Chain A
Amino acid sequence: MDAFRVISPGSFTTVQDLGRYSFIDRGVPPSGVLDPYAYRVANLLAGNPADAAVLEITVTGPALEALGEADVVLTGADMTATVNQTAAPMWQTVRLKKGDVIRIRQAKSGCRAYLAVTGGIDVPPVMGSRATCVKAKIGGIEGRPLRKEDVLGRFPAEPLARARMLPADFIPAYRPEFVLRAITGPQEEVFASGLETFFGGIYEVTPEADRMGYRLQGPPVHHDEGFPQSIISEPTIPGNVQLPADNQPIILLVEQTTGGYTKIATVISADLPKIAQAMPGNRVRFQRVTLEEAHRIYRDQARLLRQIEASLSSSR
């Protein structure tokens, strides 16, 4: 069923879900949401399946006309939103009537917002996912960002019995200075002295920051004497911190599958949302954690999401 007509698309708005993991070995990047936390919360609030497709909105949001009654949820970056000129709250459900216009403006803090609609966005799955991959021109709307006059469908779903809101404790704050926890490796052995520089330095997010990766600028991290910068190309994973020839770190993200540079460390899963919400000029520090700590944090994060789910279903 029709959900929205696009009045204006925003700077870069794509349909995303959890991503496409079955064809990475054929060079198809996973794609999917950059901020899985804001995404999961949006779907939980909307009463959607955990893998329902949403809109990922980057920096400047779209204006959408509702083509029918539906509940929507906006999470992630703080982008002032209005429904017919009235301020619309984030991190809670908002009932739209046919003809209502939701306008999502510029990010005041954070970088990416997520708009979920009850039922989930209805686009045909391509190779097992609805995620847009612009590079492979697949998923979402014809494998591209939204355009003016696009019509987005949604799957049918009953309107929610009552409005739902995320308890304030669970709403993250996006700060211009933040810490990313990272595990050393996979090639930490070529950075005997570089590790200290990397974990001690403050790095600035450069304007070269997109879904492929975030390029940082700060104290150069050198390879040890005698170690080459490039390695035999190998598979990469979102969160890998790669050090190319200019010795400035790049955090690899979801639109890439292989790389030929050494990787000093890998950001833990729970902190990937912080990268998704980082803007050029933000300052980041890396904090070293062990794999055991990272796995404990991973389990805590899973527990937190179950807690949120439980608190919402009891309020239903």
Chain B
Amino acid sequence: MVSHLFDKPRIRISGDRAVLVEYGDAIDPAVNEKVRAMAALLKQGLPEGVEAVIPAYRNLLLIYDPLVTSPEKLLSLLQGLEARLHEIGIPPPRIVEIPVLYGGEFGPDIEVVARHSGVTVEQVIAIHSGTDYPIYMIGFTPGFCYLGGLDRRIHTPRRKTPRTLLPGGSVGIAEAQTGMYPVDSPGGWQIIGRTPLKLFAPERATPFLYEAGDRIRFVPVTSGEYDRIREKEGT
């Protein structure tokens, strides 16, 4: 298999107070693992002058204060960190369990996915909940995860007509992607279920349950369990 990992990180200038540090040129678990490790290291103690670290699929954005540091300093600092990566233990990715009530009124498109994939609804649920999905990036809306690793067997095209309102918590599939809508929004994904968890809670001390680099595990629940969790969450 071809490696998409660069020998050395490439730095791209994104204006006078940000740099993109690139570790590869493809959506590739090995590349993202490097991004995750570097982001975790940087977040253990932000280097002087660094204001934010934003990891993505194959690169991370560093926002810095030009009065304090520079891209040259940051690059050499990153290379120093990288050289020590093997001696500094990077904790394994966290697995975040997301309970999902599949099908029924909360997953109105699950039969579309089953028909398109030539499997039963039960198999769609088993396949979808049978994998841990790496969070490659969070963006688009607060808490919206770009997840990797959807099983080919259940790849399904988007709906021809997007829905004008998807309730927060909706879990769906679009082509090779799966994901969840943390807040109410319009969308064209095939909706297969809903989580009772509050995925974006600005009033909580930790407003989000996950960060880029974590793994999402969807766990099927019954409508009884769904209601119990929902009551606890106040969703």
Q: Report which A residues bind B (CB closer than 8 A).
A: 21-28, 126-127, 135-138, 183-187, 232-237, 239-240, 257-258, 263, 266-269, 291, 294-295, 297-299, 302
Report whether B51 and A21 are in contact in the complex, using a CB–CB cutoff of 8 Å: yes
Chain A's closest residue to B141 (CB) is A27
Q: Residues of B at under 8 Å CB distance from A?
A: 12-18, 20, 26-27, 51-61, 63, 66-67, 70-71, 137-144, 146, 183, 200, 202-203, 207-208, 211-212
B52 & A233 in contact (Cβ 8 Å cutoff): no
**A233-B137, A237-B18 as given contacts; A186 in contact with B63, CB under 8 Å:** no
Most buried by B among A126, A137, A258, A299: A258
Q: Is the CB of A240 within 8 A of B70?
A: no
Asked if B54 and A24 make an inter-chain contact with CB atoms under 8 angstroms apart, the answer reads: yes
B57, A23: Cβ atoms closer than 8 Å: no
29 of the cross-chain contacts (CB-CB < 8 Å) are A22-B52, A23-B207, A25-B53, A27-B141, A27-B144, A126-B202, A127-B202, A135-B142, A136-B202, A138-B202, A184-B13, A187-B12, A232-B57, A233-B56, A234-B20, A234-B57, A235-B60, A237-B15, A237-B17, A240-B14, A240-B15, A266-B14, A268-B15, A269-B16, A295-B16, A295-B66, A295-B70, A298-B17, A298-B66
Contact A299 B66 (CB under 8 A): yes
| Chain A residues, Cβ within 8 Å of B70 | 295
| A-chain residues with CB within 8 Å of residue B139 when the two chains form the complex | 27, 233, 235, 257-258
B contact patch SS: loop
Closest to B60 in A: A235
Evaluate contact between A23 and B56: CB separation under 8 angstroms: no
Q: How far is the CA of A185 from the CA of B183 in the complex (A)?
A: 33
Kindly state the separation between the CA atoms of A54 and B102 in the bound complex, as whole angstroms: 46
CB nearest neighbor in B for A235: B61
Residue in chain A with minimal CB distance to B67: A302
Residue in contact with A26 in the complex, picked from B20, B56, B67, B142, CB distance below 8 Å: B142
Q: Pick from A22, A235, A302: contact of B56, CB below 8 A.
A: A235
Question: Assuming the A-B contacts A232-B27, A234-B20, A295-B70, are A25 and B13 also in contact, with contact meaning beta carbons closer than 8 angstroms in the complex?
Answer: no
Q: Which residue of B lies closest to A234 (CB)?
A: B56
Q: Tell me the complex Cα distance, A235–B141, Å.
A: 13
Could you tell me the distance between the alpha carbons of A258 and B17 in the complex, rounded to whole angstroms? 16
Question: Once the chains are docked, how many angstroms separate the CA of A138 from the CA of B207?
Answer: 12
Could you say which residues of chain B place their CB within 8 Å of the CB of A266?
A: 13-16, 18
Chain B, Cβ-Cβ closest to A29: B142
Contact of A234 with B27 in the complex, beta carbons under 8 Å: no
Determine how close the nearest CB of chain B comes to the CB of A298; give it in whole angstroms: 5
| B57 in contact with A239 (CB, 8 Å) | no
CB atoms of B16 and A294 under 8 A apart:
yes
* Chain B residue contacts of A232, Cβ below 8 A: 26-27, 56-58
Given A25-B138, A25-B211, A136-B200, answer yes or no on A237-B146 (Cβ-Cβ < 8 Å).
Answer: no
User: A120 to B108, alpha carbons, bound, how many Å?
Assistant: 49
Question: In whole angstroms, how far apart are the Cα atoms of A247 and B82 in the complex?
Answer: 38
Q: Chain A residues near B17 (CB, 8 Å)?
A: 237, 269, 298
Contact (Cβ within 8 A) B54 A185: no
- A233 adjacent to B16 (CB under 8 Å): no
Taking CB atoms, residues of chain A closer than 8 Å to B143 are 26-27
Question: A236: shortest Cβ distance to chain B, in Å?
Answer: 8
- CA A162 – CA B120 in complex, angstroms? 77
* B63 CB, min distance to chain A CBs, angstroms: 7
How far apart are A209's CB and chain B's nearest CB, in angstroms?
Answer: 19
B194 to chain A, nearest CB (A): 20
**In angstroms, how far is the closest chain B Cβ from the Cβ of A313?**
21
Is the CB–CB distance between B183 and A136 below 8 Å?
yes
Taking the nearest CB of chain B, how far is it from the CB of A238, in angstroms? 8
A26 and B15 in contact (CB under 8 A), knowing A21-B63, A136-B202, A186-B20?
no
In the complex, which of the residues A26, A186, A295 contacts B12, with contact meaning CB atoms closer than 8 Å?
A: A186
Once A22-B52, A25-B138, A258-B139 are accepted as A-B contacts, the answer to whether A263 and B14 lie under 8 Å apart by CB is yes
